[in-house]
Chains A and B, each alone.
Chain A
Amino acid sequence: MSKLLRHTPTEVMDRKALSINPAKTCQPIGAMYAALGIHGCLPHSHGSQGCCAYHRSMLTRHYKEPVSAATSSFTEGSSVFGGQANLVQAINNIFTVYEPDVIAVHTTCLSETIGDDVPQIVDKAKKEGKVPDQKYVVSASTPSYAGSHVTGFANMVRGMIKDFAEASGTKNGKVNIIPGFVEPSDMEEIKRLAELMKVKTIVMPDTSGVLNGPLTGEYKMFPEGGVTPAELKDSANSRGTLALGEWASADGARFLDTEFKVPCNVLPLPIGLNNTDLFVDTLRRLGGVNVPESILHERGQLVDLISDYHQYFYGKKVALVGDPDQLIALTDFLVSIDMQPVHIVTGTPGKMFYKRIEEITKDAPFTPNMKEHGDMFLLHQWIKNEPVDLIMGNTYCKYIAKDEDIPHIRHGFPIIDRVGHQYFPTVGYRGAMRLLEKIVDALLSRLDRDNPVESFELVY
C-alpha cells in the first residue's frame, strides 16, 4: 500500500544515531519568529547566511507573508577568526539602510561552536556609535545543536525580556502574558479574551498584525503589530506573568520572577476546554476581575458542540506529532472529549513530556505510546502497528496520511500547504470549537467517502 514512504518498515528498529523525518527543527527559526513579535524589530541571524535564508523561507511558506531578517553572512575567514567584524558591520548597515527600532540577534551552530560572545560584540558596536539613540540591539544564544525551534523561541523571549525589562519602582497593574510558540491568530485570541475580561496585559512576543497582515498596496517592513520596546521594559513592573507552555514560555517568566519579583504562573497552552478554563480563571485571579457573561457564553457553546457530536469523537484513535506544549494541551483536550491519542511524538527533547502526558491519560482507557526527541519515521511505524482514525500534525504528516489512508488535520508548525492557521485560532473556547469543527469534518468526510450506497447518510 505504501507508495510515498515506501521504505518505512513496520518493524521498529532501535535507532541511536540516525534521525529520519524529524518532528522538530532547529533553534534559530523559533528565535526569528519571537523577534518578529517585537514592534519595529528586524531579526538578525549571526551565522552563515544559509540558516537565515532557510528560516525566512520556512516562516514565509507557513504564513504567506514577508519575513525580513538580516544575517552576518559568515565566510570561511570569519568562521575561523570570529564573526565580530561581520556583526558590527551588519548592525551599522541595518540601522543605516533598514532603520528598524530594534535588532534582535540570535546565533546558529556556527557562531556558537566558535564561541562568539554576542553581548560583547553588541557592546563594541554601541561604543563605536553604530547603534543610534533610541534604538536597541537585543540578543539571545540559540545553538542549533541543543533543544529545538521551541527552545530557540524560549531563548529569544528570555533574551528580549533580559535586555529590555527595567524596574521603574511603580507597579503598572498589568499582567504579562507570554503566549508561547503559537500562531498570530492565537495571540490575537488570547488578547481578545483578556480584553473581554478588562485585564490590562503585555503580550510578549506578539506576532498578530505582523504575520497575518493585510494587502493594501503598501509594503511595510515593520507592520503595526508587535510588543513595543516600552512595553517590554515595563514588563518588570507588572502584577504577574502568565507563561503559556512550559517549553516555550517558562524561562522568560521565571527570569522576571527571579530578577524583578514579578510572580509567574506557568500554564499549559489554552487549547481545549480544561486549559482555557484554567487560563481564564488564572487571569481572573491575577487581574482581580470577574469573568464576563460573554466568555461564559462562548464556553457554553463549546460544551454544547462537544455534546452534540460526542458520538463521533468517542473512542476514536488519534496520532499526534508536534511541539511539546501543543501536544500536552491537545492531548488533554482530546482525552476530555473521549478521543484516544494513542501515539504521541515530539521531536523536542525533555523527559518532562512523559510525566505530563501520563498525568493527562492516567484515567483514560488506553496507554499512549509516547516519545520525546522522536521522529515521524517512528510515528509512522507505530501507526503501521496500531492504526489510527486521525493524524494531527504539521504538513509533513501528509505523506503518512496518504500512504496509510488516514484523515489528516494540519496543526502546529509548519503548515505550508494550507491557509487559515494565521487567521483563525485554535486556542480559547472558540479555537477549541474550530478544532472540533475540523475533526468532525475530517472524520465525517471520510465516512461519506467510504460508506456504500445503502448506508450513505444525509444527516449526521
Chain B
Amino acid sequence: MATKNKMVNITNKDLNDLKEELLKKYPPKVARKRAKQFMVNEATDGNPPEIQANVRTIPGIITMRGCTYAGCKGVILGPTRDIVNITHGPIGCGFYSWLTRRNQTSPQGDDDWNFMPYAFSTDMSENDIVFGGEKKLKAAIMEAYELFKPKAIAIFATCPVGLIGDDIHSVARDAKKELNEKGVDINIFGFSCEGYKGVSQSAGHHIANNQIFTHVVGLEDDVPESKYRINMLGEYNIGGDAFVIEDILERCGITINATFSGNSTYDQFARAHAADLNCIMCHRSINYVAEMMETKFGIPWIKVNFIGVDATIKSLRKIAQYFGDKELIERVEAVIAEEMPAIEEALADIRTRTEGKTAMLFVGGSRAHHYQELFREMGMKTIAAGYEFAHRDDYEGRRVLGDIKVDADSRNIEELEVEACPERYKPRKSEGELKRLEAEGFEFKDYEGLMPDMPEDTLVIDDLNQYEADELVKRIKPDIFCAGIKEKFGIQKMGIPMKQLHSYDSGGPYAGFSGAVNFYKEIDRLVNSRVWGFMKAPWEKNPELSGTFVWENN
C-alpha cells in the first residue's frame, strides 16, 4: 500500500493526451463521434462541458447497452409481483429477463400473489411471424387468466411484433372488455417496447412510465389515512435495497405510499396519486412519471439518494424539511443518531485499507453517480465514470433540459400530453410555502447531475465500449472497476478487482446505513483479497510486469 499507482495524481492534460491516444485507433468518423462522448471533466463553477449522450450506438463497437424491451419489461415492470407480464415474441426476450435482475419481493402471506419466479411468453413461431401473432396473444392472455386469475396482465412487444404489425393494444382492449363483460375485474394493457426503438434501455423506461401512468396510476382512490405519505420512485430493490429504505422511513414515521417499482404491487401504482411527495432515486428511469404526476395531481417531486451515509442523511432531512413538522424532524434526527456509531466504527477500521484507492464506475443510468458517495466515504476517488444510456441532464444537470434536442432515433418515443385532473388535482403546498422552502435552499424537481459532482481531473464517458474499458484499465490501473456482468471477467483477467453495480455480485443491500456498511466491507474484501497475488507462479519471472500491478502494492 505504500506506493500508489502513478496515475492517481493525474492531470487534465494527462487525460486529454490519453483521450487523443485512444481515439487514434478508431476510423475517423467513429473517432469524431466518440470525442463528444469521451470527456475530460472540467466542472468549473458547476458548468460542466457538454457531453453527447442518448445517441445511437456505433455498430460493431461492443457496447454495454441493452434494448428498449429490457428497459421496459426488465427494469420497470419486472419487479412488480402481482402482474402477469407476458412477453409477446420469440422465447429469448422472456427467457433472458426471467429472474436475472435481482429485484427482491416480499409477498406478505403464502397465498399472496407472486409471479416473480415465472416467465410468461407467447413463444412466437415462424407461423406467427408469417400470419401474425394477435390470435396467439389473445389466447395466451385467456390462458393466463384461466390459470392464475390475476388482477392485471401486461403485454410486452419485442422486435418482430412491430415489424409484422401485431396491434397488442387492441388485443389487450379486446381481452379486457371480454373478461370485464363476464364480470371479471381485470386490467390488461400493453407496452410497445420493441427492442429497436430509441437507442438503449432508456426508451423502454419512457414507454413504461407512459403506459403505467395512462393505465394504472390514479385508479384507486380508497387509500388509508397515514402521515407523511411519499412515493419512492426509481428504486428497484436490487439485493433488498428498498427493504432497507422502507425500514429507515418506517422508523422515521414516513409512509411509503408506492414504490416504482421494487417490492411493489399493482395496487400501489393505482394509488400513487395519493402521495404528498414523490422522491426520485433513479432520475433516468422514472422522472417522466414524476413530472406527469405533478402536472396531473399536483404532487411535487424531489431528488433523493439513499446510496451513501451522507446522501441518506441529506435525503431524510430533505423529506423532513418538506413536511416541516417538528415531530418528524426530531424522529429523523433520532434515527440518524442511532445509526451513526455503527457506521463510524466500520469506517474507522475499513478506511485504513481503502484510503487513497481509486475507482472507475460505468453503470446504467444512475449508479455511476450515486455510488461515488460510498467510495468517497471510504476515502476512495472515482477517476472515471459514465453511463450506458443516461441523457445529458443526468450528466450535466436538469438545467440543460431546454437545450437537449431529440434526435431522429428517439423521436418516435411518445411524449404524453398531461393536464391537471379536474377532480383530483390538489396542490400539496401553497405558493407561499413553496417560496419559503425555496428560500431555505430547498430544491424541487432538480437534479444537478454527475459531472458537477466530480472533480476536474477525471473522465466522464458515455456508452463506454469494451476497447475503451480495457485501455482505461491497462493504462490507469484503478484499484477497482465497477460495471456489469459482461465487463466483470475481462477486467478481472487483468488482475483488477471488479464489482458489479447492477447485480451487486449477488450481494447487497447497499442502500441506507446498514447497506453502506455492507458495501464498505465488500469493497475492502475485493481490493484487499489475496487472490490478486496468486496470478503468477513462483517460477514465472517477467521483470516487465513487476511494480506495475495493483496486487504487488498490497
Contacts and interface: CB of A to CB of B under 8 A. Distances in A.
B51 to A, nearest CB: 20
Interface in A64-112: 64-79, 86-87, 89-94, 96-98, 108-110
Contact of B137 (A17, A48, A145, A213): A17
Contacts of A4: 114, 117
Interface stretch (A49-57, A274-282, A293-301, A332-340): A49-57
A60 interface: yes
A90 B59 contact: yes
Contacts of B146: 13
Interface residues of A, number: 84
Interface in A129-173: 143-146, 148
A67 B119 contact: no
B528 interface: no
A459 interface: no
B504 to A, nearest CB: 14
A18 B494 contact: no
B118 A20 contact: yes
Given A7-B147, A13-B146, A145-B125, A60 B117 contact: no
B65 A53 contact: yes
A51 B110 contact: no
B86 A18 contact: yes
Contact of A219 (B100, B110, B412, B494): B494
A27 B124 CA distance: 13
Nearest to B158: A109
B186 interface: no
A87 B59 CA distance: 7
B386 interface: no
A5 interface: yes
Nearest to B163: A113
B493 A218 contact: yes
A57 B94 contact: no
Given A54-B96, A57-B100, A109-B159, A96 B26 contact: yes
A22 B67 contact: no
Contacts of B194: 79
Interface string B44-61: 000000000000111111
Closest CB pairs A-B (n = 4): A50-B67, A90-B60, A26-B92, A17-B139
Given A17-B139, A54-B92, A73-B59, 13 more contacts: A4-B114, A7-B118, A17-B142, A18-B143, A22-B121, A25-B95, A70-B59, A76-B198, A89-B58, A98-B466, A108-B159, A109-B92, A144-B90
Interface of B: 25-27, 30, 56-70, 86, 89-100, 110-111, 113-115, 117-126, 128-129, 136-140, 142-144, 146-148, 158-160, 162-164, 194-199, 408-409, 412, 466-467, 470, 484-486, 488-495, 535-536, 545, 549
10 contacts: A17-B136, A18-B86, A21-B98, A22-B121, A53-B63, A87-B59, A90-B60, A97-B25, A113-B159, A396-B98
Interface of A: 3-7, 9, 13, 15-22, 24-29, 44, 47-51, 53-58, 60-61, 64-79, 86-87, 89-94, 96-98, 108-110, 113-114, 143-146, 148, 213, 215-221, 347, 377, 396, 399
